[in-house]
Amino acid sequence: MVTPAVHKIVPFVVQKGTILFAEGEASNGYMYFIFSGEVEISKRTLGTIRTLSAGQFFGEMALVRAIARTATARVVSAEAKLGRIDLKTFAWLARNNPKFLSNLIGVVATRAARAMKKVLDEA
């Protein structure tokens, strides 16, 4: 679980069915943290990839790539409390809470390592 620096990330509440971003649309440059509730990540060709809950995050690609969103993020709980950060906040967090960012990168690296291991196992 990654606990963000909450005083720097302004939380907002969204209702069930809200689409934070849709596959193919231009990125707004934000990645999101979930404080409460559940968000489903899906792709048109694959369906639901994962359902995320409190302490997890999504949309991180927006911080490093100026490309269209590669998946759709939709709130599936009755409501969800989320926070979002942009590149400027990312840089602030790196300076003021490097452990947090190190953990965040660790989570993405772990997702990558699991996928890479699966590729090797299926080769």
Partner 1 sequence: MAFDLLKEAKNLPRRHLREGSYLYRIGDLNDQHMFVVLSGTLIEVDKNEAFIKGNEVTPGGLVGDIETMSKAPIRLQSYKCLTKEAVLAIVEKREADLMGSLHPEFFLTLLKSSIDNLNAAERELIEKNSRQISA
Residues in touch with partner 1 (CB under 8 A): 45-46, 60-61, 63-65, 70, 90-91, 94-95, 98-99, 101-102, 104-106, 108-113, 115-120, 122-123
Least CB distance to partner 1 at residue 8 (A): 14
Among residues 42 and 70, whose Cβ is nearest to partner 1? 70
Pick the closer one to partner 1 by CB: 57 or 80: 57
Number of C-beta neighbours around residue 123 at 10 A:
5
* Helix residue spans in 38-97 (DSSP H): 61-64, 87-96
Q: Identify the H or E element spanning 99.
A: helix 98-122
Please report how close the Cβ of residue 85 comes to partner 1 at its closest, in angstroms: 12
Name the residue nearer to partner 1 (CB basis): 7 or 88.
Answer: 88
- Strands laid side by side in the 19-21 sheet: 19-21, 72-75, 39-43, 47-52
